[in-house]
Structure 1
């Protein structure tokens, strides 16, 4: 007597083994459950059949419930572990077909990282919550159906789950595009610095906890330029000191830059931009008379 069947489009060996393992418990109650395999079009169906033991109505309902729980658990794990990746690939290939292969691969990997790290804007979309949501839908479905086609179940019974994946991919693509724009921005600035005649061999940047900076030469003298002077008349609230510092350094195009007194929590973005533009030219001081008032040894040197 067939109790349940599961239709799959991919390999069935792993699912079959898990079903057979779970069905061993039924043998202890005097029931032998066999798993058969049939093909219908593109689908392979694994059928769960009771082949031994007399079935009263109560026994039938008990075995059916146990098998339903087994199948729901196995398929929910299959969807989260394998089918979810296929869904993400399809979303990327359909919605972002104009990306080249390398870009689509990067979006795919970033999406998986966002899912595994639960860095999403979706509430209750962690691995545990996704599995719980899918398991609940499967259990409800199997209460009223004896045949489960996994692909159809995903397409028609998990539409909201798929939509959440679509939104997640969109968010990842937005971040990816911003990263590409940032890299292009850095590339242009780096090129501009490389073709400029250096205005100084070495400069020291002292940054206080508020982000206000001072540029000095190796002799300890302040360096001023026309660009900086144009901002002196502005109020402190109107000045973005990070942007101002980057622009000043691009104008000076020094061969070597030493940063002092950097607070990682307040100046990290500015420091990273400077390091990216002036690649190989930047050193972060571990601690000296210039930066000691602002930092107590919590800066990692730039090797």
Structure 2
């Protein structure tokens, strides 16, 4: 029984690789036939228990077609749109924006938005048709995707500049750390309920007087706790930093900044006197 015939005109070998490597979860046979400039790949089965009304089977086939469309058609469309829209940018910048957009639309754990739109269109089409010519399908059935891709590309452009600014920010912080002598060998950071405390290598609390000095040096009004933490650590420029607290704190944006600036100087404690102090205070609450 023929389940589906897939016709492609471009990227024939690459599309074949996807199809042959795909885990169908069913006993299927694959046949190739070339007609003119197109390659047709017929997916058939001799399994009598397999029915064209099998929802799981057609969801699987729809995902296969979606992957082919994303990898060898949408990817090309994204880059063409980026290069046309941002013709004043350098080639390397346009490539990075395209990478961000494609990564967003094709991430494995997502069937949302654009990817879901493609999947649903494919599913509806192959439910009614035994053959799908992908080139034509993309050009005529996925035209509604254009506006979504334009929005995605605009967001990817914004994300690219945000990431570039972040890298510049980290670069500046690294520079400030490198040009000054370390004021302490070790700083312990205890994170607790959107707050933090700094201790020296002798587990002695670094007093607020030091923070006030940092604020006076910065001469910035309305400084936040987050700004103060980063500024304090940068000013101290310790040789090593130990972060105490739960695993979830490792995803904290402030911690990520410290990791990017101090690199291998940042380590995590799995249990010590300071950690016990934190736990005891939590129990008292």
* Band the TM-score falls in, shorter-chain normalisation: 0.5 to 0.7
Shift of 1:247: 0.9
Per-residue CA deviations over 1:248-282 (Å, capped at 9, x if unaligned) read: 11112121222334572597221221121112222
Q: Is residue 90 of structure 2 the alignment partner of residue 95 of structure 1?
A: no
Q: In the aligned structure 1, how far is the partner of 2:198 from the partner of 2:118?
A: 51
Q: Which residue, 180, 189, 212 being the options, matches 2:173?
A: 189
CA contact (8 A) 2:230 2:254 kept: yes
| 1:109 shift after superposition | 6.0
- Unpaired segments ≥5 residues, structure 1: 24-34, 49-65, 67-71, 297-303
Question: Which position in structure 1 is the counterpart of 2:9?
Answer: 9
Alpha-carbon deviation of 1:198? 2.0
CA distance in 2, matches of 1:133, 1:36: 25
Structure 1 residue 285 and structure 2 residue 266: aligned?
no
1:198 equivalenced with 2:192 (yes/no): no
Q: Deviations over 1:5-24 (max 9, x none)?
A: 98631339959x9xxx999x
Root-mean-square deviation over aligned CA pairs? 4.6
TM score, norm. by length of structure 1: 0.60
State yes or no: 1:244 paired with 2:228.
yes
TM-score (norm 2): 0.63
- Of structures 1 and 2, the larger Rg is shown by 1
| Aligned residue in 2 for 1:133 | 121
Distance 1:159 1:138 in 2: 18
How far is the alpha carbon of 1:179 from its aligned partner?
A: 2.7
Q: Secondary structure at the match of 2:195?
A: coil
Gaps of 5+ in 2: 21-26, 43-51, 53-57, 84-89, 281-285
Indicate how the Cα distance of structure 1 residues 266 and 151 shifts in structure 2: closer, same or farther if over 3 A, else same. Answer: closer
Contact 2:243 2:267 in 1 (8 A): yes
Paired with 1:267 and 1:8, the residues of 2 have a C-alpha distance of: 44
2-structure distance, mates of 1:152, 1:200? 66
Is residue 157 from structure 1 mapped to residue 136 from structure 2 by the alignment? no
Q: How does 1:1-303 map to 2 (within 5 A)?
A: 8-10=8-10, 11=12, 37-39=34-36, 43-44=37-38, 76=62, 79-97=65-83, 98-100=90-92, 103=96, 106-107=99-100, 110-111=103-104, 113-114=106-107, 116-118=108-110, 120=112, 122=113, 125-126=115-116, 130-137=118-125, 149-216=133-200, 218=202, 220=204, 222-223=206-207, 224-225=210-211, 226-228=213-215, 240-261=224-245, 264-265=248-249, 268-295=252-279
